[in-house]
Structure 1
Amino acid sequence: MRTTTEAAGAPAEQPPLRFDTKIAVLLRDDLEPWQRLNVTAFLVSGLGTAVPEVIGAPYEDADGTAYLPMFRQPVLVFEGGKETVALAHGRALSRSLATAVFTSDLFGTGNDRDNRAAVRAVHGDALDLVGIAVHGPRNAVDKVLKGARMHP
C-alpha cells in the first residue's frame, strides 16, 4: 500500500540521514551580530573547494530554474571565548582536520589579497582568531569543540 505522498509521486519517507562527518563553525562570543554572519559566511566558503564531497547536487525548482549546489549536511554553529577558539584551533590542527580561520585583522582589509597577507604575517599560535570552521569525522570535531556551546 502506498502512502498519499507516494501516490502523488513524492518519494516515501526515509529515516533521517546521519553523517559520519561534521561541519562546524566556532565563533568568538564577543562579536557583533553582523560580524558573526560575515565570519560564518567567509569561513564555510572554503570548505567546498577543499573538501568537495561536502557539496551536494545542484537544485532545481518545478519550473526548471537551476540553483547552485549547497552543503549536503548541516553546518553547526558554536560560540566560545577567545581562549576556547584558540584551543579549538590547536586541536583542529593537531588532528589534521580541514580548517578555515578568520582573524580580527580581516575586519580591516577589503580584499582577498590583503586578507591572505594579514594571516600570513602572524605565526599560527599568535593569530587573533575570531572564528574557525572545521570539517572531519564527527568524534574528532566534537573533541575540537570541547568547551564551546551551541550558538543561540
Structure 2
Amino acid sequence: MESEHTPIRFDTKIAVLLREDLHTWQRLNVTAFLVSGLGTRLPEVIGEPYADADGTDYLPMFRQPVLIFEGGKELLTSAHTRALGRELPTAVFTADLFGTGNDRDNRAAVRAVGRGNLDLVGLAVYGPRNVVDKVFKGATLHP
C-alpha cells in the first residue's frame, strides 16, 4: 500500500549530456535550453504547480530528477546517433548557438548543418530508464 511517504521510483529518465570542455556558464546555459523543450512536447514530465504556505502560486516543474552527464565530443556524437535510432525525444545544442541571440537564429543555425556534422555541445533525452542508460553509455555524472 502506497502512502505519501512511499518513495517514488520513475520508469523513465530525463538526462542531459554536456561536452566536457564547456565553461561553467555554458554548461548552465546549455542545460537550461535543452530541458526547456521537454515539457512543451512531453506534458507527462511536468508535475503539479507549487504553492507556499501563504498561498503564493508558483510554476510547475519536472516531476522527476534531471540527471546531468558529461563526456567528450565523440561520446556526444554516438549518444546522438543512439538516441535518434531509438526514437527518443531529443533536444540538441550546437556550438553555433553560442553566437546567436534568439530562437529564430538558433533554429536556422541547426537547420543549416546536416545531422552527421552537427558540432554538438549538449544533448537532452527522455525515455525509459534502461534505454536512456544505453544511449548515454560511457558518460559520467557531472561533478
Q: Does the TM-score normalized on the shorter chain lie above 0.5?
A: yes
Q: Deviations over 1:26-79 (max 9, x none)?
A: 000000000000000000000001111000000000000000000000000000
Counterparts of 1:1-152 in structure 2, within 5 Å, are 14-152=5-143
Query: CA-atom RMSD, angstroms?
Result: 0.8
Amino acid at match of 1:65: T
The amino acid of 1:127's aligned partner reads L
What amino acid maps onto 2:58 in structure 1?
Y
**1:58 aligned partner, one-letter code:** P
Inter-partner Cα distance in structure 1 for 2:20 and 2:132: 19
Letter in 2 for 1:32: H
Question: Between Structure 1 and Structure 2, whose CA radius of gyration is higher?
Answer: 1
Measured in 1, the distance between the counterparts of 2:82 and 2:97 equals 22
Question: Structure 1 segments of 4 or more deviating over 6 A?
Answer: none
What percent identity do the matched residue pairs reach? 77
CA offset at residue 13 of structure 1? 5.7
SS of residue in 2 equivalent to 1:46: helix
Structure 2 stretches lacking a partner, 5+ long: none
Q: Which runs of 5+ in 1 are unaligned?
A: 1-11
- Following superposition, the deviation at residue 15 of structure 1 comes to 2.5
Counterpart residue identity of residue 101, structure 2: G
TM-score (norm 2): 0.97
Deviation of residue 14 (structure 1)?
1.9
When normalised by structure 1's length, the TM-score is 0.91
Aligned residues: 141
